[in-house]
Amino acid sequence: MRPESTFDLQSFLPYLLTQAAERSSLEFQQVYRDRYGMLRTEWRVLFHLGLYGTMTAGGIGAAAGTHKTKISRAVHRLAERRYITRNRDGADRRVEHLDLTPRGRAVFNELRGIAADYDEALSNQLSETELKVLRTALRKLAGMQSGRFT
Amino acid sequence: MRPESTFDLQSFLPYLLTQAAERSSLEFQQVYRDRYGMLRTEWRVLFHLGLYGTMTAGGIGAAAGTHKTKISRAVHRLAERRYITRNRDGADRRVEHLDLTPRGRAVFNELRGIAADYDEALSNQLSETELKVLRTALRKLAGMQSGRFT
DNA sequence: CCCGGAAAGTTGTAACTGTAACAATATTCG
DNA sequence: CGAATATTGTTACAGTTACAACTTTCCGGG
């Protein structure tokens, strides 16, 4: 029989991660929302294109672990605002290649600067080692399944 | 002028945290959704009551960092399913004291066991030190503001 | 006492998300 | 070739969330 007193909500990783994620995204989110009316998925698409160059919707979805319908809608809105262009592939006409417009790149550049500042502000709350271990652990958790457990 | 090549999405804490949080919540979420039709906020309310005993909606909201409208709706749905009772405070009639019903406690006990197993499965992917540093860092990030930075 | 303001919750509405179903291609292989 | 199947991306609809406005109750100063 399982002991009753074992479980601690404040140590439960999914809970702790969600709290930290929500909290740490808050201020930055505020910036791209208030300033550019962007949602989180739109921000992600913008950053993928800005950092990695031309990509397809599917490629971004795979890289960011985001569902294709969310990507589809984000792409639609970004194109509407002329932050990105959509170019049908010649060989496979199901595919579209996405790119930042100059306008999109300008927004990306500004947001990247703010993101870098924000990341630094967060990082300064932790020691060097803490930060290093944290990033490693998060990458492991983000990239893996625990396997069936129920 | 800021260097162009500095920013790395895979090291950006808010991004990394969100990815890890989404990923790690997914499987557990599946359990309480499929099995009990519960949403995340309902799960949180249930666990707060199960672990800490009688609480008010406002108290849970403050403890969990969750907006009162989300709590309000979660409480409504949990009461509807007879997982919790709502008792008006005698002295301050704006306040309701919430408690698990026996039925709610049974569900809580089962979910707590599953949560403990899941946490263990996740924890096993990390070393002892990693885990310790991770929890400390997450608590810091969850509980603090970076201050003005924009 | 009683009025203004604060606090605890609730509700309306518009926006966002998830699931599944869909259309338009591409590919496989008998 | 051509029917079955897979892939890329969109859309419909139902369900969830956010924000603001609201109700009810409490508190403090005149």
| Pick among 1.10.10.10, 3.40.50.2300, 3.60.110.10, 1.10.287.130: CATH of B25-143 | 1.10.10.10
Establish whether the CB of A39 is closer than 7 Å to any nucleic acid atom in strand C.
Answer: yes
Q: Is A21 on the interface with B (CB under 8 A)?
A: yes
pLDDT tens per residue across span A58-93: 999 999 999 999 999 999 999 999 999 999 999 999
Q: Tell me whether residue B78 is exposed, middle or buried, using C-beta atoms within 10 angstroms of its C-beta: 0 to 12, 13 to 18, 19 or more.
A: buried
Give the model's pLDDT for residue A150: 29
Q: How many inter-chain contacts (A to B, CB under 8 Å) are there?
A: 178
pLDDT tens per residue across span A50-59: 999 999 999 9
User: What is the distance between the alpha carbons of residues A3 and A10, in angstroms, rounded to a whole number?
Assistant: 18
DSSP string computed for B35-64? HH---HHHHHHHHHHHHH-SEEHHHHHHHH
Question: Contact A52/B5 with Cβ under 8 angstroms?
Answer: no
Joined together, the tokens standing for residue A142 give: 């983000």
Model confidence band, residue A1 (pLDDT cutoffs 50, 70, 90)? low
Give the model's pLDDT for residue B149: 44
Strand order in the sheet with B55-56: B55-56, B96-100, B84-88
Model confidence band, residue A149 (pLDDT cutoffs 50, 70, 90)? very low
Question: Contact B133/A135 with Cβ under 8 angstroms?
Answer: no
Residues of chain B positioned with their CB less than 8 A from the CB of A31: 150
Model confidence band, residue A105 (pLDDT cutoffs 50, 70, 90)? very high
Give the model's pLDDT for residue A6: 79
What are the extents of the domains in chain A? 27-143
User: What is the distance between the alpha carbons of residues B119 and B128, in angstroms, rounded to a whole number?
Assistant: 14
Query: Contact A133/B137, CB-based, under 8 Å?
Result: yes
User: What is the distance between the alpha carbons of residues A142 and B12, in angstroms, rounded to a whole number?
Assistant: 13
Give the model's pLDDT for residue B143: 80
User: What is the distance between the alpha carbons of residues B67 and B86, in angstroms, rounded to a whole number?
Assistant: 19
Q: What is the mean pLDDT of residues A133-150?
A: 73
% pLDDT > 90, chain A:
89
- Residue with the bigger pLDDT between B147 and A144: it is A144
Give the domain A27-143 fold.
Arc Repressor Mutant, subunit A (1.10.10)
Establish whether the CB of A39 is closer than 7 Å to any nucleic acid atom in strand D.
Answer: no
Residue B147's contacts (CB-CB under 8 Å, 6 or more residues apart) are A121
pLDDT tens per residue across span B79-117: 999 999 999 999 999 999 999 999 999 999 999 999 999
Backbone angles phi, psi at B13, to 5 degrees: -55, -50
Joined together, the tokens standing for residue B128 give: 């002892």
Q: Residue B86, CA: closest nucleotide via C1'? A: C9
**Mean pLDDT, chain B, whole residue set:** 91
Give the model's pLDDT for residue A5: 62
Residues of chain A positioned with their CB less than 8 A from the CB of B111: none
Give the model's pLDDT for residue B3: 62
% pLDDT > 70, chain B:
92
Q: Alpha-carbon dihedral of residues B20, B23, B29, B33, nearest 10 degrees?
A: 140
pLDDT of A134 strictly over 60: yes
